[in-house]
Structure 1
């Protein structure tokens, strides 16, 4: 090799090293100027009615936050994966967010099953995780790094039985889905029913792929003394149950659904059979019907208008859970004046008086939800729309 060739190669190697070093510095500077947040959602698949509005909401409001200057001058970089409702995929994506994407926090988990699969990953990594799923087992017992925004299945049972007691009913039947949420809510309802003087006198279940629940409902119809029926479940199952309920002429017996169907799509799927169905849900579904002095009115009406104007779709409480989770996290980062996961976790737990679409949130070391029963509104379907049930009726 000539000396000239050697020099040229040395220069080339040096230039390459300098370029790589410059790229590394640029990449490092870019990373420091952004906040990387992770999200694993069921955007497609059987739980897409949850994940799709959550995905749309997060992207819409991250853009809004970034356009306004970000968080303390740093732009949010949102990394989203679609688990299709599969718990194994969710756990794989959670691991990728931690190990490859290096996120500082996680907001997502559309279902109880996917959330429970991801919890160990974020707990071990000590990264705050705000779930959008319903079951109380997500935050009870309390896990240090895990929080959630939706009302729990236990709260749904309590709100339903509170209304049943007000109507002076004591004998109730249940028909429950066998999915993670349906099973969990069934168990919670069985636990709290005696507190309201309610006896469960008949019980049936159905699977996530069942397309007709007439046989189970026929048994409930034949059970003596049933005064009301409760359906713990989510997805299309409750709409099928509701249609079968009407087909069997059971509509004169009060029928309750859970907040797992708190979107207009339930009414559309159930059709006229939904008339008279009651369920506990967030104020978001009746935003325009809230009194002007309601502390949530401004938040829920603005979110509803923004979501519907942007997506051209009806608002659902599920997108609202994502809105709440994102802003609880952003507020925590601002108070912490840091994106350090441990400092952010501490500030999420210190959240007080946050007015969201789901209610007014005040968390503590023993409460990683921060909502009480007053955050739930009892709704009834009338003329194909949600209406507020007045207290005591």
Structure 2
């Protein structure tokens, strides 16, 4: 009986020690569904980093347990899964969701439950106004708009038409395009939209084509819609230059749009042109290291995977600083300054949970099915 007691006690101690050295991190990712091209590289990146960290002994000796759920890009499903992570899995922090609409849907829950969230979506509404428990790594629409408008201004383009998706990302971009236009002396001559499931934007493009004076068309959305816009514009023989948002900064857009992608210009994070950056760029070494690791395991890299990298590595930094509770993790995230990541160089504060500025974007042009850096 005594031996049995000692054995049971020993097993309990081992189980307790194992549990105590496990850091549970949740992730909400669009692995399937229409935005799987965003979520899959995010999932790949998170799992790759967790594996690398655990192989090297974890964080302060504690192993990471990464719990990833597929939201399918659906806000209602995302809320259900966020509850599961918080109340069933009892994670210390959550990375994601992939999409802006899904992120906005769970913010009230996150704030009530007081769990640190690092979103990988871009809508400025995620962190404006600042929410105590919510951070993000994808650059805000406003930064992308400012970088694009600055480029248009340099090219003496002042009269544009906008064509935006009726999604969280597209609607947020539309607001910023309209709000920031006067700052850059931009006049919006047409304001058209398309539904997330639309595959033919010919009617909207014909309207734009018939408006006198339009010098550029700016499309704001994520695939597959913008790819249809590109193909429809080519079919209609529209010669007006077509610009896209950072929401299509993946090879998937080029694959979907085919030859119609040629010549399109957009603001992007530096990852897609890492090799073209000057040696003096502070991000270049980090970008190339991540790119090489990712492509060795999964194939062509994506800027969206970079959003996951930044979220995971900043969370790692907070945990390395001896943060053990949700509140301590939140506080450490808010203290992060000059973190050189994939999306940019992050500096959070009590008033800024986005951490980036327009200089974290560059301007690229699609040439021969690839990205060419044209403005740094």
TM-score by length of 2: 0.96
Is it true that 1:369 corresponds to 2:357 in the alignment?
no
Residues of 1 paired with 2:126 and 2:208: CA distance? 31
Is 1:33–2:21 an aligned residue pair? yes
Larger radius of gyration: 1
SS in 2 for 1:339: coil
Paired with 2:29 and 2:345, the residues of 1 have a C-alpha distance of 24
Q: How many residues align?
A: 376
State whether residues 22 and 64 of structure 2, in contact with CA within 8 Å, keep that contact through their aligned partners in structure 1.
Answer: yes
Q: How far did residue 25 of structure 1 move?
A: 4.4
Task: Give the equivalent residue in structure 1 for 2:192.
Answer: 204
Aligned pair 1:190/2:178, yes or no?
yes
1:349 maps onto 2:334 in alignment: yes
Is 1:137 equivalent to 2:125 in the alignment? yes
Mapped to 2, the partners of 1:17 and 1:185 lie a distance apart of 64
Q: What is the aligned partner in structure 2 of residue 5 from structure 1?
A: none
**How far has the Cα of 1:390 moved from its partner?**
2.9
2:301 matched to 1:315? Answer: yes
- Partner in structure 2 of residue 296 of structure 1: 283
8 Å CA contact 2:147, 2:359 repeated in 1: no
- Tell me the residue number matched to 2:232: 244
Residue 78 of structure 2 aligns with which residue? Answer: 90
Task: State the SS of the aligned residue for 1:141.
Answer: coil
Q: Shift in Å at residue 354 of structure 1?
A: 0.5
1:210-247 Cα distance to aligned partner (Å, 9 max, x none): 11111110100001110111001012100110111111
Cα deviations by residue, 1:326-362 (Å, 9 ceiling, x for unpaired):
0011011112x13211111111111111100111111
Alpha carbon RMSD of aligned pairs, Å?
1.7
Contact preservation (8 Å) 2:323, 2:332:
no
Query: In the superposition, relative to structure 1, how do residues 117 and 15 fare at CA in structure 2: closer, same or farther (>3 Å)?
Result: farther
Match of 1:382 in 2: 367
Show the counterpart of 1:328. 314
Deviations 1:15-42 (A, max 9, x none): 9999887665443322211100001111
- Unpaired segments of 5 or more residues in structure 1? 1-12
CA distance in 2, matches of 1:224, 1:185: 24
Structure 2: unaligned runs, 5 residues or longer:
none
* TM-score (normalizing by structure 1): 0.92
* Closer, same or farther: CA 16–256 of 1 in aligned 2, 3 Å: farther
For residues 3 and 119 of structure 2, the distance between their equivalents in structure 1, rounded to whole angstroms, comes to: 47
**Taking structure 1 as reference, are residues 20 and 86 closer, same or farther at Cα in structure 2, changes over 3 Å only?**
farther
Q: How does 1:27-106 map to 2 (within 5 A)?
A: 27-106=15-94
Q: What is the CA–CA distance in structure 2 between the aligned matches of 1:87 and 1:17, rounded to whole Å?
A: 50
CA spacing shift, 1:97–1:14, aligned 2, 3 Å: farther
Q: Determine the C-alpha separation between the residues in 1 that align with 2:264 and 2:143.
A: 18
Aligned-pair CA distance for 1:117: 1.6
**Aligned match of 1:218:** 206
Aligned twin of 1:265: 252
Aligned equivalents of 2:273, 2:153: Cα separation in 1: 23
Shift of 1:292: 1.4
Check whether the contact 2:362–2:375 (CA below 8 A) recurs between aligned residues: no
Distance 2:188 2:68 in 1: 42
Residues 1:232 and 2:217 aligned together: no
Residues 257-288 of structure 1, C-alpha deviation per residue, up to 9 Å, x if partnerless? 00111101111111111111111111000011
